Amino acid sequence: MRTLVTGGCGFVGTNLVPLLLERGADVRILDNFSIAGPDRVANAGVEVLEGDVRDPDAVRRAMDGVEAVIHLAAFGNVVDSIAEPHDNFDVNARGTLVVLDGAARAGVRRFVFASTGGALIGDASPPVDEHSVPRPISPYGASKLAGEGYCHAYRGSYGLETVALRFANVYGPRSEHKKGAVTAFIKRALGGEPLIIYGDGSASRDFLYVEDLCRGIVAGLLEPAADGVIHLASERETAMVELARLIVDISGAEVPIEHEAPRRGEVERNFAMARRASELLGFQATVSLEEGLARTVEWFRHNGV
CB distance 52 to 58 below 8 Å: yes
Q: Which of 140, 150, 154, 171 is catalytic?
A: 140
Q: Is residue 198 flagged as an active site residue?
A: no
Q: What CA–CA distance (Å, rounded) separates 149 from 216?
A: 21
- Contact 110/56 with Cβ under 8 angstroms? no
- State phi, psi for 93 to the nearest 5 degrees: -95, -60
3-state secondary structure of 194: coil
CB 142 within 8 A of CB 134: no
Residues 6 or more apart in contact with residue 261 via CB below 8 angstroms: 198, 199
d(CA 30, CA 55): 11
Written as one string, the DSSP assignment of 85-152 is: HHHHHIIIIIHHHHHHHHHHHHT--EEEEEEESHHHH-S-PSSB-TTSPP--SSHHHHHHHHHHHHHH
For residue 58, give the DSSP letter.
H
Can you state the percent helix, strand and coil of the chain, rounding each to 5?
A: 45, 20, 40
Residues pairing with 207 in the sheet: 169
Residue 83 CB coordination number (10 Å): 11
Q: Which residues, listed in sequence order, are joined to residue 258 by a DSSP beta bridge?
A: 196
Alpha-carbon dihedral 158, 160, 166, 171, rounded to 10 degrees: -130
Measured between alpha carbons, how far is residue 15 from residues 21, 45, 247 in Å?
11, 14, 22
Give the active site residues: 140
